[in-house]
Amino acid sequence: HRDSPIPAMGFRAGYGFQWIETKNFNVFSSIEGTFDFFPSNCYGSFGLTLELFNIFKLMGGLIYGNNGIGNISEGLSVYTLGASLCYTFGEIPIEIFYSYNPAVFKSIPEDSHFIGFEIGFGSLDRKGPEIKLEIEGLVSNTIYVSPNYDGSQDLLDIGLNIKDENSIVDWKLFILNEKREIVRSFYGEEERDVAFDFNVLWKKLWIKNEVVPVPERIYWDGTSDRGEHLPDGVYYLFAEATDELNNRGVSTTNKIILDTTPPSGSLSLFNNIISPNGDGRNDSIIISQNLSGGDLWKGEIRDSEGSKIKEWIWNNDPPMNLEWDGRDENKRIVQEGTYNYIVYGTDMAGNKLLLTIPDIYLSLKQYSVFISIDKKYFSPAFESLKIKTFFMETNGLKEWILTIKDANGIKVKEIKDKIIPSYLYWDGTDLRNKRVGDGNYKINLSATYQNGETSFSRGVDVIVDSTPPVLRFSSSPEIFSPDGDGENEELLINFSTVDLSGIRRWKIEIMDPDNKPFKVFEGKGEPSKNIRWNGRSDNGELVESAQDYRVVIFAEDKAGNKIEKEVGKIKVDVLVEKMERGLRIRINNIEFEFGKATLMQKKKLILDRVVEILQKYNRYRVEIQGHTDNIGSEQKNKELSIARARTVYDYLVAHGINRNRLSLNGFGYKYPIADNSTEEGRRKNRRVEFILQKD
């Protein structure tokens, strides 16, 4: 410019976008602000760049600013056109450019020509993202998992750590079977299809490497992409990621052993009487063990109150025969009484096995008596407690007395006789034949002989529990949306119980809209505290859009008390499913009046949610498709499906969706997705689908 004898000096800042990215053709746009000190100018610009074969660029843009640059009354009359050639020498990029600017300065036309070059210094990033999989319990790149909801190693907890100097544009995590086939995949990729949002833009200005969000943790529950439970076996895990310069990184491959089978074994004992008095008769017992190798085993002797007396631990090779001489860990002979031998087996995946030999009688004198019970918990509501008695000496018995006392030591029941029984039964009643309350009770047996000798057994504890478990259930998020967009993909289920005797088994049933079991979680013992659901049925079917799924939970405690109840509903969002030709929204419960196209008032909330989604995906054309079941003639169903699609079309337009984006069609019962011979199938076929395709 003739009023500017020296080149302009100042600074500029801006933000760039890449809209199209292919191997040989790319489209960029940029917004810049410039402030020059000499002379003082302040102006902004918008530009568009087309790049061919990564060598040649064509550029164009608009400029407007102060000092008469541009003309407000005539619009933005300042534009610029240019071209450039790019080449890389080694790792140094060089760009030579030319631009033409038919500018207007203070209403005086004045063409400007610029030529220049840019040289980039520094090394070119050719290194792929660094990916680290952080897995607790990983040993020599091998991890064991047992997804059977027993509370031990039910989920594979994977920490995904991706580092790179540039932004990550996609990441994938794969689980493969022994044939190296992908059975489960998790992924994230750059999404450019949603509406432009200045809030998102502002965040991206300040957050590094967040083009694609990378979750801190990923959980795998042993299911495939279709939701099916995978068989036990060897699987492989690895992750890969790509940065914005198309550098690709791959993690190390880890081996997964999926194992839901517990250890196996059996126990046997020939003689259950031990009398360690040094007379050479029954001074010890021999327990035969047939236990699987390669697992961790532990054996324990416990008394009738459950206290541990003696312990053995074997890592991989338990003995075939185990001898116990009636002594504790300190090599002292234990008291007279009834003892149990318990074996615990645990494998690398956390599966457990428990084996027991009950009623080992240890006697140090002639007149010894013992009692044992068949269970530590019982419910008088529907069963009696079976009590086994054993007398070392039966000759000269004058009387025996069985006494039951509560936790405060108050006698609640007494049974006595002269005849020696093999078993006694307590029905849970007291001295007045009224049922006792829940709680802890102690059972004792005494025997009196003709010679005046009296013997007492050690007490045995039992829990009376007539009350069903208390169940607590919750789930999050409130609206479940397993459609692959990265938001609210998994449902976290929190199921807990409170019970005096503990839980024997439990079950969670998620019922479909036809009130049939859709997904079932069940297990033994206390429920797992970390149940995650990906929205797939046991057969791999995905939940339906905008439907409510009832939840029914069941539990049985160790005393046999059972409870089943409905605890609420899981609300499913309107799902946007990916297809080869775009996206699809499929909704089965947009209800119309019977045989008509009049929309039911209560279902308008579903369409309101569809409006929100279509506003988000505002660069997509939308075809509204109506479908029916096969009740009625083909022509009538065709007309009805078109009329209902028209009703939905009108509703969307009335609520802000541009009619130029919308089209409609009706297919009657031409394209069923389920069996029309069943009511369930006909319900699924009566649907409205929204097919989204990019402009």
Give the orientation angle of helix 634-654 with respect to helix 604-616, to 10 degrees: 60
Residue range 99-139, pLDDT digits in tens = 777 765 555 556 667 787 778 766 667 789 999 999 988 88
Does residue 283 lie within any of the structural domains?
Answer: yes
Does residue 668 lie within any of the structural domains?
Answer: yes
Euclidean distance between CA atoms 355 and 374, whole angstroms: 15
The H or E element containing residue 679 is: helix 679-685
Same structural domain, 293 and 248: no
Same structural domain, 584 and 547: no
Same structural domain, 478 and 593: no
Give the pLDDT score at 2. 44
The SS3 of residue 4 is coil
Does residue 519 lie within any of the structural domains?
Answer: yes
Whether the per-residue pLDDT at 574 is higher than 50: the answer is: yes
Give the pLDDT score at 200. 47
Euclidean distance between CA atoms 412 and 433, whole angstroms: 10
Residue 679's CATH number:
3.30.1330.60
Same structural domain, 662 and 542: no
Give the pLDDT score at 379. 95
Same structural domain, 382 and 315: no
Does residue 154 lie within any of the structural domains?
Answer: yes
Residue 507's CATH number:
2.60.40.1930
Residue 356's CATH number:
2.60.40.4070
Same structural domain, 446 and 382: yes
Same structural domain, 269 and 332: yes
At which of 525, 549, 572 does a domain end?
A: 572
How many helices (H) and strands (E) the chain has is answered by: 4, 46
Contacts 24+ apart (CB under 8 A), 178-181: 178/233, 178/234, 178/235, 180/236
pLDDT band at 37 (very low <50, low <70, confident <90, very high): low
At which of 554, 572, 590 does a domain end?
A: 572
Does residue 178 lie within any of the structural domains?
Answer: yes
Give the pLDDT score at 122. 63
Residue range 144-201, pLDDT digits in tens = 999 988 888 999 999 999 999 888 889 999 999 999 999 999 988 655 444 444 454 4
Same structural domain, 194 and 296: no
Give the pLDDT score at 71. 40
Same structural domain, 452 and 493: no
Same structural domain, 165 and 240: yes
What number is the average pLDDT over the span 432-457? 94
Euclidean distance between CA atoms 145 and 202, whole angstroms: 42
At which of 552, 572, 592 does a domain end?
A: 572
Residue range 364-407, pLDDT digits in tens = 888 889 999 988 999 999 899 999 999 988 899 999 999 999 99
Burial class (CB in 10 A: 0-12, 13-18, 19+), 256: buried
Does residue 501 lie within any of the structural domains?
Answer: yes
Euclidean distance between CA atoms 154 and 222, whole angstroms: 8
Task: Give the total number of structural domains in the chain.
Answer: 6
Same structural domain, 141 and 252: yes
What residues make up the domain containing 686? 577-694
pLDDT band at 331 (very low <50, low <70, confident <90, very high): very high
Euclidean distance between CA atoms 111 and 323, whole angstroms: 105
Does residue 291 lie within any of the structural domains?
Answer: yes
Give the pLDDT score at 103. 61
Same structural domain, 252 and 137: yes
Does residue 124 lie within any of the structural domains?
Answer: no
